[in-house]
Structure 1
């Protein structure tokens, strides 16, 4: 039987308060059971606040994950930027651990002037350092999620993130279904990806994002759209999840956040899933 955790990327738009605790309470009120805490503009939450947030989320049955800052590039030619990137990942992971979040979504790098293989080597080395440092800091629960990316200039094909997870213990793929769809030229086989993650990595839980993307000049670009754009469609993913005994988080990154998360919930319920 599938176990599905579904909710918005960040504080619901309909939340009366603007803090993460208010956001988690609103998620629970809406009948959703997941929320991604967004550190995309920087880690501005104290460890103590993260602990308090985690206690509220646990009491309400809301599963948390975290999105690390966008200002991360482990393949930057500037050594200081690489070191700052590692610090941002660690700061995100420290707060994620304190709040009991299971994973941190990370945009790892841009290739820049490097070949994909050269960039991969740099990322692998940096992520091994980050994992070692995180263990020194007592971070043992949270996983570091290498996000699949839409832009061809960015590190993050499905093959790359799976390979990194195989070679660096403590790293998992964080699947953005729409990014992967775009990177694969507007095609996706949801079931094959789920099976690959489970068979090759033995994942017991899959962390993922879902949204639709804009089509420009015949190509899908990384501009998030409401899910009714059907690029990619959600219903086939829902069906593939429900065919399997699988645990998965579906974090809605549509601009309509909870409204679209509730549409996703309705699709799953129409197929017989009970939240």
Structure 2
């Protein structure tokens, strides 16, 4: 059994690099750990959405610098992974992409990767989930065979109505292997449900379900994405910033529950261009709540 690293508090950080990272003269990914330390953040999600292009040596160098600054690393696997494709070749290719991401994570010393599950297309959600489950089982077998078994695979909740990956489906995917952690993207969850998950009570129902199905330890240590997301009847449309309060969900109810339940997730901010600033705001909200409880 893979043990969880002991964390006393939730960790916060950005997905990729914000606009002000570059505006302040930073140019290289190697500048990221120092930038995060300056901003008081402890996590970073390296983006491989358009393909795993970082070399082994570069990944190792980034991991060394991040470790020196006590930054926890994760990697977002390519967006075009489709665990549920009806085409076997695409599912096989998705396993290759997962292995490529895991290899980068190994050299970077990232302890988790985030994976999209794919879409339902013209098949039912039950059929799509069956295909995705088979692909993930084969992926984790291949991961073990290649020496990547200590890196957690984190299936992500998705934002469009026709995509596979609502909360219940992600939980079922995580039940495949006890090492899997759910990635709860709160903006996606709210967008796919057309606005049903923007209150403390509705978020509580998600956490209750995860504790019941996956156990307290995985609920406590879940991976998370957060941003305000504009949606239509088809679900997710566009990511926004925390300042754009006309869009949902609010972060405060999420933070309240995390603090009250003594959860220690890693929360990655995906705001549009302001992800570092907003991650700092989220961390401030969370710390104020922790101080009140103490």
User: 2:242 maps to what in 1?
Assistant: 227
> Given the alignment of the two structures, is residue 29 of structure 1 paired with residue 38 of structure 2, yes or no?
yes
Change (3 A) 1:139 1:273: farther
Change (3 A) 1:243 1:82: same
Contact 1:12 1:27 in 2 (8 A): no
Shift of 1:200: 2.2
Other structure's SS at 2:248 match: coil
Other structure's SS at 1:52 match: helix
> Given the alignment of the two structures, is residue 146 of structure 1 paired with residue 155 of structure 2, yes or no?
yes
Other structure's SS at 2:224 match: strand
Which one of 190, 197, 200 corresponds to residue 203 of structure 2? 190
Give the unaligned 5+ runs of structure 1. Answer: none
User: Within 2, Cα distance between the matches of 1:113 and 1:168?
Assistant: 28
Please identify which structure carries the higher strand content.
Answer: 1
Contact 1:213 1:220 in 2 (8 A): no
Contact 2:194 2:232 in 1 (8 A): no
User: 1:210 maps to what in 2?
Assistant: 226
Shift of 1:194: 2.5
User: Within 2, Cα distance between the matches of 1:14 and 1:225?
Assistant: 16
Other structure's SS at 2:73 match: strand
Other structure's SS at 2:150 match: coil
Shift of 1:185: 2.6
Shift of 1:44: 0.4
Farther-moved stretch of structure 1 (79-88 vs 22-31)? 79-88
User: Within 2, Cα distance between the matches of 1:25 and 1:154?
Assistant: 37
The within-5 A match list for 1:37-186 is 37-186=46-195
Change (3 A) 1:220 1:118: closer
Calculate the aligned-residue CA RMSD, in Å: 2.0
User: 2:4 maps to what in 1?
Assistant: none
Farther-moved stretch of structure 1 (61-70 vs 20-29)? 20-29
User: Within 2, Cα distance between the matches of 1:272 and 1:3?
Assistant: 9
Aligned length: 273
Shift of 1:41: 1.0
User: 2:14 maps to what in 1?
Assistant: 8
Farther-moved stretch of structure 1 (152-161 vs 51-60)? 51-60
Other structure's SS at 1:167 match: coil
| Deviant stretches of 4+, over 6 Å | none
Give the unaligned 5+ runs of structure 2. Answer: 1-6
Contact 1:186 1:220 in 2 (8 A): no
Contact 2:46 2:75 in 1 (8 A): yes
**CA deviation digits over 1:5-58, x for unaligned, max 9?**
101001243333333221222111111111100001110011222222112111
Other structure's SS at 1:69 match: coil
User: 1:257 maps to what in 2?
Assistant: 275
Shift of 1:141: 1.9
User: 1:236 maps to what in 2?
Assistant: 253
User: Within 1, Cα distance between the matches of 2:203 and 2:30?
Assistant: 33
TM-score of the superposed pair, with normalisation by structure 1: 0.92
Farther-moved stretch of structure 1 (181-190 vs 119-128)? 181-190
Contact 1:76 1:109 in 2 (8 A): yes
Contact 2:227 2:242 in 1 (8 A): yes
User: Within 2, Cα distance between the matches of 1:113 and 1:94?
Assistant: 33
Shift of 1:115: 1.0
Other structure's SS at 1:14 match: helix
User: 1:267 maps to what in 2?
Assistant: 285
Shift of 1:259: 1.4
